[in-house]
Amino acid sequence: MSGILNSSIGRKFAMALSALFLMVFLLQHFSINILSVLAPDTFNDVSHFMGTFWVIQYLLQPVLILGVIFHFVMGFVLEIKNNKARTISYAKNNGAANSSWMSRNMIWSGLAILGFMLLHFYDFWVPEINIKFIEGDMSGLIDPNNADSGYRYLEHLQHKFVDGWRVALYVISFVFLALHLLHGFNSAFQSIGANNKYTKGLVGFSKVYAIGIPLGFIFIALYHFFNH
Amino acid sequence: MDLKLKIWRQKNANDKGKMVDYPISNVSPDMSFLEMLDVLNNELIEKGESPVSFDHDCREGICGSCSLYINGEAHGPDRLITSCQLHMRTFKDGETIVIEPWRAKAFPVIKDLVVDRSAFDRIQHAGGFISVNTSGNTIDANTIPIEKADADDAFMAATCIGCGACVASCKNSSAMLFVGAKVSQFALLPQGQVEATDRVLNMVKQMDEEGFGNCTNTGACEVECPKGISLENIARMNREYLSASFKG
């Protein structure tokens, strides 16, 4: 087993596992965010639990961050290695004749998602860390001195979707996320060797996931923009 | 038909190479693509110029020699054929046809449109075989019962002619469809089980050492393969490799 990550298939496998992990996380993230539309109070309660329960904060969150970093770094490593495998380009190459745009441009959709994540971290993660660990306020309340002021999470979310430019950036990023997932979902299963009689059904499910989840995030962003 | 050809010319492996324009007239739509190149070469020889070098042998889609990247696709725009099976009726009168060699670091150009595909041979040498005693006591293969579905899949994988279109078409110059087919044709049969672990580990190791890229599952290889080798073979190789790696 030693050196498996030094092989092309091992790297594919690791990339696929990190992708599957992130797709599970994305589903969980969406499930909580949609509560901000369907059940705002529950959204606040779940957000407070997620933000204060030590297992999530100190065990799962670092694993998630490592998973994200690994996926991006491995993506760049694979892109560099793949570019080295063809040093002279074709004068004429008709890639559209045999493969989808999404499959040929994973690096660009991935870079768009990376850019979005920097904005998303700046919008939500950095302020959260600041309030909890710099200011030392673990109450989750709008006014930490007033127990009746309610949780701050929904208000923070709504505040972020006031600016049209930010909502536009989020919407564009989710379109890139959909493009990335439209190839990435199936590709991950192919990489772990799961190409069998269930593949046809998996392809259908992957399209539902790849379009449905980003579309759901777009809906949430637009909902809060038009209802603030 | 009158055509404008843009052909990659390169004197030798060290030459920089460039695209050169060649107008050609009176091309019969019933000619094969290689026959059209034969006509061009006759004209070049009559003019005292160097003919265009290109690989060819059987000219009936079996040997996999005719490695031509035509108008941006391996073996041209038609499906499930090699360049020698491509006919000029596929093109329009007055069309410009761009002809290039396979492009991959692992397939260096030897001259013009001829590339060195010995990397595939070395991958085969690393494990693409079964060690059968052929001293006269060989057991007839048909005495071993094999499920029809497995036999069909193994035979399908074995139709790979090693032309390299998969590598040429892949944006990463990955050889995984070729290696996947060669691994699969044995992995599906009982005769291949004895050396299964070493086979896949050694063939993938050699593939990586040759400098082929990583598969990103675009599926271009499957579409351009003249024998219709399926991506299922890559998934099977991935399973075989991961299983073999964990076994040690």
Mean pLDDT, rounded, for A96-116: 98
Which band of pLDDT confidence, cut at 50, 70 and 90, is reported for residue B247? confident
Mean pLDDT, rounded, for B45-50: 98
Which band of pLDDT confidence, cut at 50, 70 and 90, is reported for residue B18? very high
Residue A116 lies inside a defined structural domain of this protein? yes
Which band of pLDDT confidence, cut at 50, 70 and 90, is reported for residue B82? very high
Which band of pLDDT confidence, cut at 50, 70 and 90, is reported for residue B134? confident
Residue of A84, A86, A100 for testing the chain B interface, max B β-carbons within 10 Å = A86
Look at residue B92 and tell me whether its pLDDT is greater than 90.
yes
Q: State how far the Cα of A132 lies from the Cα of B214, in Å rounded to an integer.
A: 43
CATH fold, domain B3-104, is Ubiquitin-like (UB roll) (3.10.20)
Give how far Cα B228 sits from Cα of A198, B12, B129, B139, B183, Å: 21, 33, 22, 31, 16
Mean pLDDT, rounded, for B181-200: 96
Task: Name every chain A residue with its beta carbon within 8 A of the beta carbon of B238.
Answer: 9, 12-13, 190-193
A187 in contact with B at a CB cutoff of 8 Å?
A: yes
Mean pLDDT, rounded, for B153-170: 98
Which band of pLDDT confidence, cut at 50, 70 and 90, is reported for residue B176? very high
Give how far Cα B49 sits from Cα of B18, B42, B45, B86, Å: 16, 10, 5, 26
Q: Which helix (H) or strand (E) holds A209?
A: helix A199-226
Residue of A4, A77, A92 for testing the chain B interface, max B β-carbons within 10 Å = A92
B241 in contact with A at a CB cutoff of 8 Å?
A: yes
Residue A93 lies inside a defined structural domain of this protein? no
Look at residue A81 and tell me whether its pLDDT is greater than 80.
yes
Where are the domains positioned within chain B?
A: 3-104, 117-247
The confidence score (pLDDT) of residue A131 equals 95
Determine what percent of chain B is predicted with pLDDT higher than 70: 100
Would you say the CATH fold of B117-247 matches that of B3-104? no
Question: Helix/strand/coil (H, E, C) string of chain B?
Answer: CCEEEEEEECCCCCCCCEEEEEEECCCCCCCEHHHHHHHHHHHHHHCCCCCCCCCCCCCCCCCCCCCCEECCEECCCCCCCCHHHCEHHHCCCCCEEEEECCCECCECEEECCEECCHHHHHHHHHHCCCCCCCCCCCCCHHHCCCCHHHHHHHHHHHCCCCCCHHHHHCCCCCCHHHHHHHHHHHHCCHHHCCCHHHHHHHHHHHHHHCCCCCCCCCCHHHHHCCCCCCCHHHHHHHHHHHHHHHHC
CATH number at residue A135: 1.20.1300
Look at residue A2 and tell me whether its pLDDT is greater than 80.
no
What is the value of ipTM here, to two decimals? 0.94
Question: Tens digits of per-residue pLDDT, B198-238?
Answer: 999 999 999 999 999 999 999 999 999 999 999 999 999 99
Residue A70 lies inside a defined structural domain of this protein? yes
User: For chain A, what is the total number of helices (H) and then of strands (E)?
Assistant: 11, 0
- Total domain count for chain A? 1
Task: Name every chain B residue with its beta carbon within 8 A of the beta carbon of A94.
Answer: 71-73, 77
What value does the mean pLDDT of chain A take? 95
Superfamily assignment of B117-247 in CATH? Answer: Alpha-helical ferredoxin (1.10.1060.10)
The confidence score (pLDDT) of residue B248 equals 67
The parent domain of residue A189 ranges over 7-84+101-226
Task: Name every chain A residue with its beta carbon within 8 A of the beta carbon of B234.
Answer: 190, 195
Chain A neighbours among B 165-204 (CB < 8 Å)?
169, 171-174, 176, 204
Residue A154 lies inside a defined structural domain of this protein? yes
